[in-house]
Structure 1
């Protein structure tokens, strides 16, 4: 599920183009026109804490437009489910493109942890050992961490599952040692900053990566790293899908080429010749 900040940003981007249109205008040609409109460079000005203004040109690429149009699709789906629309409306999304095969080595993760703030360090450790998304980790409260049963329940009781899967995971002994130590700190959530919940770790992870001198790091790369390590270390397809709460199709498509079992049976058959 997208964070509140991401939803707000997407709605802000959608409104100027779609705000004056009706639902019957949602079709392939209009969606492609929106993509072209968002691709146009625009100038934005930001003001730092010391009052310094910075001006830069930005444009939205296909991944950003996909995310924004996905929010539009979700709104239309909700309207149809509530009976506000008689027929479902399909939003045409840009092609997703290839997923970047960027994952961190163990040395890079060690460097990242060394240069991270304490709450970011907690987030990184949880991400590496569980392979969960940033929002899922930041929502984790202590009452869903059972150190006696060695179990973390990322989804609250009664919470419906979404396509951004959460599920539950058994706690590896290395993570358990961290959790025991962290549990002595007062607070409702596992990851907190100065007694407050954390809404986003995007900037914190970026700052740690910059200080460590590591390029291509964001909060999503940590999930990618966790699954890649698991597969490289010999997890079977079914085990990886269950532990990381990710479909076998995704594991096979994006991670399985890292596995020592990749094409193993095929090679054995060929070698019999």
Structure 2
């Protein structure tokens, strides 16, 4: 919200909430598109504005939430990363805190914010559990409790022995609030391009589904509030679900009896 707020306030900041019109929303979308922003990003930014205004109405700051028109959200065209790309990305991380963050992103399928919020009191080495939930439960996006795989355990144990703060991802004795620069540098070293960090989360989901894990299991692992969200986002990566239905429509042998009788006459 803070990051997208810079763009939102630059356009809407001088307006009172009751002054915002559909024309303003369309003007904002047009400007961001002209600046090279993807429609999906514009959709998200206007969604953040709408969420803030709804909160303001709920808490009595304003009387009414204005209608915030958003461009239709495009269908996801994100492609999952290959195992080789994931390994190359890890190897490309020169800073220990960036490497740890990337490993945890891959091992948990969590969002970046959840990893950077993670504190050591929610890392349970004895039971092998990583609790991504915030203690007060205040977060707009769902967070899960996930098992710790071997890759994550090795990285976490190394970081725990060198810890200087309560935060799992730290640098020079301070909490890390962003790994944007380090991630981009790792991408360059790995020879990768045009792979947003959130693509790691998509990759985790696709790998699990393609390995045959149940949709409900993947949904809970990702911290989705319901399986409909998971299905809507990743159904195209599960074509095998419809294999039996496709067989019903198989007419490849439709003319075979006729051909067989013709061969007999010959």
TM category (shorter chain) comes to 0.7 to 0.9
* Counterpart Cα distance in 1 of 2:196 and 2:38: 18
> Alignment RMSD, CA only?
2.4
Post-superposition Cα deviations, 1:56-108, rounded to whole Å, max 9, x if no partner, equal: xx444423332332232122112211123333333111222121222211111
State yes or no: 1:189 paired with 2:167. Answer: yes
Write out aligned runs for 1:1-273 (5 A).
Answer: 2=1, 4=2, 6=3, 10-40=4-34, 58-117=35-94, 118-162=96-140, 164-187=141-164, 188-246=166-224, 247-259=226-238, 261-267=240-246
Alignment TM-score, normalising by the size of structure 2? 0.83
Instruction: Answer with 1 or 2: which has the greater Rg.
Output: 2
Q: Retained in 1: the 8 A contact 2:78–2:199?
A: no
Moved more, 29-38 or 230-239: 29-38
Post-superposition Cα deviations, 1:241-260, rounded to whole Å, max 9, x if no partner, equal: 01111242232223233347
Q: Retained in 1: the 8 A contact 2:80–2:206?
A: yes
Point out where structure 2 has 5 or more consecutive residues left out of the alignment. Answer: 254-266
Give the number of the structure whose residues are more often helix, by fraction: 2
Structure 1 residue 135, shift from structure 2 partner: 0.9
Q: Retained in 2: the 8 A contact 1:131–1:223?
A: yes
Q: Partner of 2:62: helix, strand, or coil?
A: coil
Q: Partner of 2:198: helix, strand, or coil?
A: helix
